[in-house]
């Protein structure tokens, strides 16, 4: 078997041992692969591993020996699933590896907004201009008694809700048609008309579908408190980015913490990249990437290859 990892730098920078994959065949790892490099790199591959490198219909067609594509992630939007199915190529993913890391990242955003640590960190270098070593320039507040609204009560949403409760926060869930409400059924499920105006923070954890795309838009932002903060560690297209940039500029909401954008890397004219609002924090899709999460992810990739070769593929998408 020839195994090609198209963008291994998304999983590690030398600190993980990928030789475990060599048990299954000859392994070739590329730190990253541009669109034009992919066909040549996979031309004789049996197994392709990809996090962000695109496995388009053309790229799948360029690999006549291809038998398995492993998404080194939960999402499979980088893979043309219809083309894979037509070509008889199995596609698998890895789920659940980053729950704790993402929930931690959500609360990093929330705590930074509550404590204003980034702003005070900058100010602490400029104390000659202040008479005492303290400041009320950036008001801070307690999380206890505040309300966290969650859109999408999956495993990550549940983990975030439990952290919020530990901080003494109230938790609301946006009522969505088709939701099973099996996770934490004791939490109030509210319609959009009640959910948005009653949340001090809103955190997005729902899947990206035709129904949820741009669910955060001019209308929903207008329903939020002017003191509220929006957190997105889910999918970038859940937000109408131009509408959010305008809402921040106009003071419609207090701030936003984003780990994902509609296109990654973002275009230079992305309205959130060009927005200079001080209470907008953007991280480069790192919420998932704790060391422990990446160990679990590598274990998942390894298991997907092993079970496929054993004839009982785990986590099969196609």
Q: Is 235 a catalytic residue?
A: yes
| Structural domain count, the chain | 2
The overall average pLDDT reported for the chain is 95
pLDDT at 130 > cutoff 90: no
Q: Are residues 44 and 118 in the same domain?
A: no
Q: Are residues 41 and 168 in the same domain?
A: no
User: In the predicted model, what is the mean pLDDT of residues 220-233?
Assistant: 98
pLDDT tens track for 273-305 = 999 999 999 999 999 999 999 999 999 999 999
User: In the predicted model, what is the mean pLDDT of residues 113-132?
Assistant: 84
Q: Are residues 148 and 24 in the same domain?
A: no
Domain membership flag for residue 25: yes
Q: Are residues 145 and 62 in the same domain?
A: no
Q: Are residues 116 and 190 in the same domain?
A: yes
Choose the catalytic residue: 264, 292, 294, 296: 264
pLDDT tens track for 189-213 = 999 999 999 999 999 999 999 999 9
Q: Are residues 203 and 149 in the same domain?
A: yes
Q: Are residues 127 and 256 in the same domain?
A: yes
CATH of the domain at 91: 3.40.50.720
For the beta carbon of residue 220, count every other beta carbon within 10 angstroms: 21
Domain membership flag for residue 314: no
The model's confidence at residue 182, banded by pLDDT at 50, 70 and 90, is confident
Domain membership flag for residue 204: yes
Domain membership flag for residue 318: no
Domain enclosing residue 295, as ranges: 2-97+291-309
Domain membership flag for residue 249: yes
pTM, two decimal places: 0.92
Q: Are strands 68-71 and 90-92 parallel, antiparallel or unpaired?
A: parallel
Domain membership flag for residue 277: yes
Q: Are residues 302 and 257 in the same domain?
A: no
Domain membership flag for residue 316: no
pLDDT at 129 > cutoff 90: no
Identify the CA nearest to 206 among candidates 232, 181, 183.
232
Q: Is 285 a catalytic residue?
A: yes
Q: Are residues 139 and 278 in the same domain?
A: yes
Choose the catalytic residue: 176, 189, 285, 296: 285
Q: Are residues 138 and 242 in the same domain?
A: yes
Choose the catalytic residue: 235, 292, 294, 296: 235
Q: Is 37 a catalytic residue?
A: no
Q: Are residues 299 and 208 in the same domain?
A: no
Domain membership flag for residue 126: yes
């Amino acid at each position: 078997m020839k195994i090609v990892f198209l963008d291994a730098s998304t999983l590690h920078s030398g600190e993980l041992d990928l030789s475990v994959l060599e048990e299954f065949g000859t392994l070739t790892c590329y730190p990253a692969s541009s669109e034009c490099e992919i066909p040549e790199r996979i031309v004789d591959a049996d197994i392709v591993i990809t996090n962000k490198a695109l496995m388009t219909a053309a790229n799948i067609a360029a690999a006549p020996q291809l038998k398995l594509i492993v998404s080194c992630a939960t999402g499979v939007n980088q893979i043309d699933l219809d083309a894979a199915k037509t070509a008889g190529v199995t596609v698998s993913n890895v789920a659940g590896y980053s729950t704790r890391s993402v929930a931690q990242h959500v609360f990093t955003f929330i705590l930074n907004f509550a404590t204003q640590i980034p702003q005070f960190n900058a100010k602490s270098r400029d104390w000659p201009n202040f008479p005492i070593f303290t400041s009320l320039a950036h008001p801070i507040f307690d999380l206890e008694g505040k309300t966290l609204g969650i859109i999408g009560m999956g495993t990550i949403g549940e983990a975030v809700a439990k952290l919020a409760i530990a901080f003494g926060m109230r938790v609301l869930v946006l009522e969505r048609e088709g939701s099973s409400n099996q996770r934490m059924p004791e939490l109030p499920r509210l319609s959009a008309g009640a959910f948005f105006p009653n949340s001090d923070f809103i955190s997005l954890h729902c899947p990206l579908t035709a129904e949820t795309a741009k669910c955060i838009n001019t209308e929903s932002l207008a329903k939020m408190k002017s003191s509220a903060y929006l957190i997105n560690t889910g999918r970038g297209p859940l937000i109408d980015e131009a509408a959010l940039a305008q809402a921040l500029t106009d003071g419609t909401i207090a701030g936003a913490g984003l780990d994902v954008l509609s296109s990654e890397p973002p275009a230079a004219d992305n309205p959130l990249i060009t927005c200079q609002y001080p209470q907008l924090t953007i991280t480069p899709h790192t919420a998932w990437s704790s060391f422990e999460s990446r160990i679990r992810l590598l274990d998942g990739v390894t298991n997907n290859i092993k079970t496929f070769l054993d004839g009982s593929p785990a986590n099969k998408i196609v």
